[in-house]
Amino acid sequence: QVQLQQWGAGLLKPSETLSLTCAVYGGSFGTYYWSWIRQPPGKGLEWIGEIYHSGTTNYNPSLKSRVTISVDTSKNQFSLKLTSVTAADTAVYYCARERDSGSYLGDYYYYMDVWGRGTTVTVSS
């Protein structure tokens, strides 16, 4: 049974860099995409970006200029960095595994099937 354990700083000041890590236990790491998603207080879910074990990344265009997702395959971990945070970045941040749904006309599709418990990040001066 795969489990995702995440950690990182929970309180930041404006302009600082958010840094979170997610470790994968109990399952294969190298055959999945891995994502970060966030949820502001009382609001819906927003996808931040994803990474494959090879290091290939994709980011939400709205956050792309501030986001870096990296992977450490030796530790079965992946990490999120979000620079220049503001109060609008206050949210619960989740890591998640993406399962392959299959392909259609040469494109592949993935959905999130296992989620971490979430890390609350508050940005406040």
Partner 1 sequence: DIQMTQSPSTLSASVGDRVTITCRASQSIRRWLAWYQQKPGKAPNLLIYDASSLESGVPSRFSGSGSGTEFTLTISSLQPDDFATYYCQQYKSYYTFGQGTKLEIK
**Concatenated DSSP letters of 12-64:** E-TT--EEEEEEEESS-STTSEEEEEEE-TTS--EEEEEEETTS-EEE-TTTT
| Cα separation, 104 vs 108, whole angstroms | 7
Min dist. Cβ of residue 100 to partner 1 (A): 11
Min dist. Cβ of residue 31 to partner 1 (A): 17
* CB of 72 or CB of 113, closer to partner 1: 113
* CB of 16 or CB of 115, closer to partner 1: 115
Min dist. Cβ of residue 72 to partner 1 (A): 22
Furthest C-alpha separation in the chain: 50
Min dist. Cβ of residue 115 to partner 1 (A): 4
Which residue's structure tokens are 């296992």? Answer: 114
Residue 97 · residue 34 · CB < 8 Å: yes
* CB of 74 or CB of 103, closer to partner 1: 103
| Cα separation, 20 vs 95, whole angstroms | 9
| Contacting residues toward partner 1, per CB under 8 A | 35, 37, 44-47, 58, 60-61, 94, 99, 101, 104, 109-113, 115-118
* CB of 16 or CB of 58, closer to partner 1: 58
